[in-house]
Structures are given as structure tokens and as C-alpha cells.
Amino acid sequence: MRSKKQPRELLLKGGTVVDPFRKEKYVGDVFIKNGKIQKVGDVNYKSSMTQVDCSGLIVTHGFCDIHVHFREPGREDKESLATGSQAALAGGFTRVCVMPNTNPPLDTPESIRFIVEKAETLPIHIHPIGSITKGQKGKEICEMAAMRNEGAVAFSDDGIPVSDGEIMRLALEYAGMIGVPIINHAEDCCIRKNGVMNEGEISTRMGLTGNPDIAESTMVNRDLELAQLAGSVLHVPHVSTAKAINHVRRMKKEYKHLSAEVTPHHLYFNDEALVEYDTNLKVAPPIRTEHDRRALIKALKDDVIDCIATDHAPHTIEEKERTFDLAPFGMIGLESCFGVVYQILVKESGMALGELIQKLTVNPRMVMGFQPDLFKPGIQAEISVIDTEKEWVFKKSSIQSRSGNSPFLGKKVTGKIHFILSKGIITEIT
């Protein structure tokens, strides 16, 4: 990747502008001055402008990922805010929300301030998600209001479900008072137990402990009911099962303060991919059946699932080279995201490009209460420029993350990020 300061006057000329906020698509220009949007559409070229020919390319909003793990503080050997920022840029993301399961967790106002202050000098916008409970132990609610004042945009004990229903109810009520979402890792630990992959024929054949789909669906249903009772905003992360989708679909008909996300890896793989014991495919919740995968795609197309989030989860080589049952859960996903979802959703499943981009840009921003209209004059430019015709192979050289735990290595995909504008910096993806 190559980065440089944006020129004072920059004209992105003749690209196909995809405006996911207004749901428009047309050939046009984007004029940026002093890092801010001036005009989108037909712009008269002036000699003072630096012109970039974008013909044949898609010009759209910078992507927003509301579910990443950057491991700082405590495990910077896996990822730091700085290296995670580079991974995000490589994937077309100009804004991310970092989960709180760091060491120590983001469970105090001071820890939230640490992330906010350190992120100020980095090339993307980074927002901290605070822990629901102190130490992520599920017993005592954190100082939500004080953490919100320091910059927390949501609350989650991600990776560790809030199992106590009363604690979850209180969390939803408190979060409702300060106007932020609650995000609960939706797995019932008593049902999941020590499951390391989807429970079914394939887990039995492989001799691995299974995690049944109802471990997710029962927790999702509980959380939906509690959110409705509390009148609060609930975001359901990384939905993986058809049964959970049915609960979300039903509740959305009667309750509007609800959203859900799906990951690229749950859209791409089914549990048959695990037969070679690739630990990079060990994730939580697990890769499910082909029936579940198809249900996720349909739910995304039906707007039952609102947005795509990578759940970018870096681990060291040494950790992932353990046996399948001992390896940690998680894979990286920022750099490979667009190529994977464009291949699956647009090329193979017939989703319109504008709809896909909306689920990577406008929808996640609306979930978190961010500005959704990035082509509004005066807004700081957050732009992704994409070559949707580019076929490429995801290689180690494609990875900017400090970790390399990706099952997409060696996969051929279509659609590649060309360059990114973020925080006054233009970054070319090579």
C-alpha cells in the first residue's frame, strides 16, 4: 500500500458513483477540497484541481465495520490499533468499531479514553465498544454513562455471552437511557458447552464436539424478548443459523429497535469446508450447514439482516497451529471482505451492487448512530474506489494485519479495492 496526503483540491473524475444513502447510481465526479466533500455529480474541471481518472471504477462511501478485534491493549503481538487500521484500509474500510475483549477489557471510562486518544493519529476512524459487565464476568454492570461520555458507541461482552437474564435486562435498560445499542454474543453456554464446530453429521464423522444451532437461536430469542420489554436498541452480531433468522424476522415485524449482522465467512463457507481440520475455520459461532448459509444470504437480500461485519479476529501462528480442539476461535477478515461478499452476493446470488454497498456503508453507520450521508457537502471525505471487474487471488502479500489466520488464502475472488480516501490521506491498494 502507498499513502500520501490528499491534495488541496481533488477531483475524482468520471467514475460510476454509487450513492448508497440516496440509492442512486450514475457516472459522475466527486470534488473534494481541504479533505471535505464539495460536490458530487457533474463538476467543471479547473486547472487548480488534481484530477484522478476513475472511469470504469466504482466511487462510493468508505466501508464501516462495526465488529472488529484489534487486540490493543494487551495482545499487540496479534494486532494493534495501528496495524488494524492498515488492514481496514486494505479492505476499503474507513471506520470501524473495536470490541472490548482486550487485556484488560474496555470496562472503564479511562480505557475508552485510551482508545479514543490513540486513534486520533491513525488513518481511519476507530470507535470503542465498551464492556457490558466489569471484567466481562457477567456479574456487575459497567459505568455505561461515563464510558459513553468518553466515546463508547455501544456495549458488549463479545466473545462471552451475558448469560444472566436479569443482568442482560438491566444492561438494555441502562443503554436505552443513554441511547446506544447492546450487542450480545448470542450463544447459550450451557447448550454450547465445549462445542468447537457445528453439531451434525460432519462433526460426528470428524470426531469433534458439536455446537448445536439452538445454542444461538435460544439466546437470540431471549435477547429479542428482553429488548422489546426494555424498549431498547439491540444489535444481534454474527448471525449463523436459519433458526435465529426466523426469530429476528418475526420480531422485526413488531419491534423497530433491532438490527443484525452477518460475516463474510458465514456467507461463503458451510461445515463441509472443515473436513481438513483447518483451524482458521474455527470460529464462534461456528460455520453452519449449507441450509443455514443459504438462509443467511436470503435474509440479507430480504433486509432481515441489516449489515455485513467481518468479526476480524487476529491470532498468532503458534495459537492456530494447535490441534482443532485447542486452537482459539476466530479469523481475520478485513482485507478479504469485499472480494468475498461481492463474489457470493452479487456474482453468484444476484444482489444489486448498490444493495451490497448499502450493507457495508449506510446500514452499519445507522446502527451505531454515525452520519450515513457521506456525499453531503462539508462532510470529511470517506471514500472507497473499487474495481469490481478485477479478479485476484487472496495471498499473504494481500494481508496488512499483523496476523495471517485466514481461510481465504489462495481463494480467487472478484472485486478489489483500488484506493481509499480517509482523514485527509489517500491510500492506494497495491
- Which are the catalytic amino acids? 311
Sheet strands side by side (includes 63-68): 63-68, 93-98, 125-128
Q: Cell 495459537 maps to which residue?
A: 319
Q: Are strands 155-156 and 182-183 parallel, antiparallel or unpaired?
A: parallel
HSE toward the beta carbon, residue 159, CA cutoff 13 A = 21
ω into residue 73 within 30 of 0, thus cis? yes
User: How far is 98 from 115, CA to CA, in rounded Å?
Assistant: 9
What is the C-alpha separation between 219 and 232, in angstroms, rounded? 17
H-run or E-run covering 335: none
Among residues 218, 375, 367, 223, which one has the least CA distance to residue 306?
A: 367
Which residue, among 338, 340, 332, 339, has the nearest Cα to 400 in the 3D structure?
332
**Is residue 145 within 8 Å of residue 176, measured between CB atoms?**
no
Distance of CA 274 to the CA centre of its chain: 23
Q: What is the DSSP letter of 344?
A: I
Report d(CA 189, CA 194) in Å as an integer. 9
DSSP-derived letter for residue 28 is E
Q: What are phi and psi of 204, to 5 degrees?
A: -65, -45
Relative to beta strand 93-98, strand 63-68 is parallel
Contact 183, 97 (CB under 8 A): no
- The values of phi and psi at residue 162, to 5°, are -80, 100
Cα separation, 184 vs 419, in Å, equals: 34
**Helix H segments across 289-387?**
290-301, 317-320, 337-341, 353-360, 362-368
Q: Cis omega before residue 372 (within 30°)?
A: no
Residue 341 grid coordinates: 461478499
Element (DSSP H or E) covering residue 171: helix 165-178
